[in-house]
Structure 1
Amino acid sequence: MGNTSEKRKSYNAEFKEMVVELYQTGTPVKQICSEYGLSETTIYKWIRKQKPVKLDDGSSFTPEEFLNLQKELHRLKEENEILKKAMAIFAKK
């Protein structure tokens, strides 16, 4: 187990996007690691999260966008169930 006094660094979305853009424009991962004090694992994770997934219809989205869509779908399904129950209650009156 790691030392509990060590805290994980968190980086904002703009920084992550900048690092991924550096990689996409040809900067080697090892160079990015040394310049910004990041691990290769972290950089590759950010790259994977921002890599677009292409659909058959030609559209694309990132895994993060997909996750957000799943959360929104779940929220809307719950909302729909609540509205159905409310409608049934009001229909009885």
Structure 2
Amino acid sequence: MQNRRKRRSFSQEFKKQVVDLYHSGKSRKEIIAEYDLTPSAFDKWVTQYSSALKEQSYLNRNQTFEQSECLDKLRKEIETLKIENSILKQTVIIFSRMVD
């Protein structure tokens, strides 16, 4: 007769923590032994959360690119405003001399 394990369920948080351990350098074999996991379940979690991690990384990269574009635009606007401010200051000086 075959010894079958009772089906266990794990929270999403636990699965993510196990995958994070794997990505931080702990070996697959150590994790499976320490948490008494089946290799197939562990591999499934790694695949699932690694693809989610890649997707999140892609989204973060896009967000960083958009932020970089926004920063460049704001820097250009600041430079333009500095120039305009300087011109207006000079204009005020000229007009104040004309009034005196």
What TM-score comes out, normalization by structure 1 length? Answer: 0.50
Q: When the two structures are superposed, what TM-score results if normalisation uses the length of structure 2?
A: 0.47
Higher relative contact order (CA 8 A, sep 6+): 2
Higher helix share: 2
Q: Larger Cα Rg: Structure 1 or Structure 2?
A: 2
